[in-house]
């Protein structure tokens, strides 16, 4: 088992943006000190939902302020940048970190981000696939040319620097739909799962639905001549531990509910439902339904195991259950959801490492 921490760098009070990033950096250093294996970061645009606009920028800062812990992205949005820029930037992060990069990739889901960049969200999957083809080629030893629908590289171009890890840093596919799982199986990429989004789509059956998707993934691995158990299966989950379950729930709830309010702005509601977007049918139908049916609350997420808040024994039992049912090889624990005060986050990180993780 590997254990990671996750941050969306959510800063409800933007007057604290400097202090909040300082808090994040201290938590990254603490994670390494305590023996966590990975730090996972994200990027988003135009909202306090997440104020990291460039995962490569934050990853580079982490690379030079840590020495051992691996640095993962959950996720880099491939359509938002030229793939040669993405390949070069993250190769540089791999160099600066002495080979500690884990590249998690996806195509994004918030229409406001595509609108702000004047990009066609309906073509995000096609842009993602073409971008990944260029990135992987750019990390190879030969100059790249490309004649695609979205990017053209007419002159042979050698992307530098090359990453330290060979043939390239591990790639993780953000997976919530059958197409994403099949893509990961086809390319041999690791899986990046998220309890928050699986729950938003599948509600109380989120674990059973992920089991079915993983069964399809394993069949696809066999069809492509790959070992279905070879890839990492990382899952991100909101997590908070305290001496008592009552204390954990009381602290965790208000901050998770703030996040869920932000998520509602992205997914829409039954009253204010956005039109369906090609390629996002599951998100466009099930996200608003989850809100309308009253599932999108901290209490219900904890009830159905999509968030974990409790005393050490409760947390151990919940983590063991998810690990066994989904074949998880890494838990990515989201301690600082919604701007939880850093003193409480750091205490929970220590308590988890001492009284929870060794027993899972």
What is the pLDDT at residue 266?
62
Whether residue 191 lies inside any domain: the answer is yes
CB within 8 Å of 222: residues ≥ 6 apart: 228
pLDDT at residue 290, rounded to an integer: 93
Look at residue 98 and tell me whether its pLDDT is greater than 50.
Answer: yes
Kindly report the average pLDDT of the chain as a whole number: 94
Binned at pLDDT 50, 70 and 90, residue 271 comes out as very low
Q: How confident is the model at residue 95 (pLDDT cuts 50, 70, 90)?
A: very high
Highest mean pLDDT among 73-77, 174-178, 256-260: 73-77
As a whole number of angstroms, the distance between CA 134 and CA 281 comes to 27
Instruction: Give the residues across from 2 on adjacent strands.
Output: 330
pLDDT number for residue 359: 98
Binned at pLDDT 50, 70 and 90, residue 13 comes out as confident
pLDDT at position 261 is 86
Question: In this predicted model, what pLDDT tens digit does every residue of 27-41 receive, in sequence order?
Answer: 999 999 999 999 999
Contacts of residue 5, defined as CB under 8 A and 6 or more positions apart, other chains included, come to: 27, 28, 31, 36, 38, 39, 40, 332, 333, 334, 335, 349
Nearest by Cα to 60 from 234, 339, 52, 15: 52
Give tens-digit pLDDT for 253-265: 999 998 898 877 7
In a domain, 27, yes or no: yes
CB-based contact 296:133 (threshold 8 Å): no
With a CB cutoff of 8 Å and minimum separation 6, the contacts of 30 are: 346, 349, 350
Q: Dig out the tokens for 268 from the structure.
A: 């829409």
Give the tens place of pLDDT for each residue, 301-340: 999 999 999 999 999 999 999 999 999 999 999 999 998 9
Average pLDDT over residues 160-179: 96
The number of folded domains in the chain is 1
**Length of the chain in terms of residues written:** 360
Tokens for 162, please give them: 């090359």
Are the CB atoms for 310 and 248 separated by under 8 Å? yes
Q: Is residue 273 part of a domain?
A: no
pLDDT at 237 over 70: yes
Which pLDDT value is given to residue 269?
43
Is the pLDDT confidence value at 267 over 70?
A: no
Q: Report the CATH number that the domain containing residue 227 is assigned in CATH.
A: 3.20.20.30
Position 335 in a domain: yes
Instruction: Decide if 13 is inside a domain.
Output: yes
Q: Is the pTM of this model over 0.75?
A: yes
Which residues constitute the domain of residue 170? 2-257+304-359
Rounded Cα distance, 3 and 28, in Å: 13
Name the packing angle between helices 206-223 and 195-202 (round to 10°): 110
Degrees (nearest 5) of the Cα angle 206, 353, 51? Answer: 60
For residue 271, being part of any structural domain is answered with: no
pLDDT reported for residue 283: 83
Q: Is the model's pLDDT at 273 over the cut of 60?
A: no
What is the helix (H) or strand (E) element at residue 219, kind and residue range? Answer: helix 206-223
Tokens 């050698």 -> residue: 158
Q: Please report whether residue 222 resides in a domain.
A: yes
pLDDT score of 187 more than 60: yes
DSSP code, position 15: G
In a domain, 275, yes or no: no
């Amino acid at each position: 088992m590997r254990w990671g921490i996750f941050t969306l760098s959510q800063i409800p009070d933007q007057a604290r943006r400097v202090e909040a990033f300082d808090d994040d950096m201290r938590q990254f250093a603490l994670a390494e000190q305590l023996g966590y294996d990975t730090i996972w970061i994200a990027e988003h645009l135009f909202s306090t939902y997440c104020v990291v606009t460039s995962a490569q920028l934050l990853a580079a800062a982490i690379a030079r302020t840590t020495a051992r812990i691996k640095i993962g992205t959950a996720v880099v949005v491939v359509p938002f940048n030229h793939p040669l820029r993405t390949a070069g930037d993250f190769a540089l992060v791999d160099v600066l970190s002495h080979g500690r990069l884990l590249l998690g990739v996806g195509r994004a889901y918030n229409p406001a981000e595509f609108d702000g960049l004047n990009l066609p969200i309906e073509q995000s999957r096609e842009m993602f696939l073409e971008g990944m083809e260029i990135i992987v080629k750019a990390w190879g030893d030969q100059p790249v040319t490309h004649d695609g629908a979205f990017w053209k590289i007419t002159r042979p171009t050698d992307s530098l620097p090359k990453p330290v890890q060979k043939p390239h840093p591990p790639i993780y596919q953000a997976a919530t739909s059958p197409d994403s799982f099949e893509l990961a199986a086809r390319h041999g990429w690791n899986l990046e799962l998220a309890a928050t989004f699986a729950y938003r789509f599948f509600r109380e059956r989120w674990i059973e639905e992920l089991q079915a998707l993983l069964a399809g993934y394993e069949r696809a691995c066999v069809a492509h001549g790959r070992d279905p158990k070879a890839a990492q299966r990382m899952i991100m989950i909101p997590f908070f531990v305290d001496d008592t379950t009552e204390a954990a729930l009381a602290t965790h709830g208000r901050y998770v509910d703030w996040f869920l309010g932000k998520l509602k702005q992205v997914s829409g509601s039954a009253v204010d439902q956005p039109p369906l977007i090609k390629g996002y049918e599951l998100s466009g139908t099930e996200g608003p339904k989850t809100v309308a049916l009253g599932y999108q609350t901290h209490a219900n997420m904890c009830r159905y195991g999509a968030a974990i808040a409790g005393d050490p024994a409760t947390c151990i039992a919940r983590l063991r259950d998810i690990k066994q049912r989904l074949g998880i090889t890494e838990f990515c624990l989201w301690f600082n959801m919604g701007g939880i005060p850093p003193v409480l986050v750091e205490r929970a990180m220590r308590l988890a490492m001492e009284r929870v993780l060794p027993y899972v």
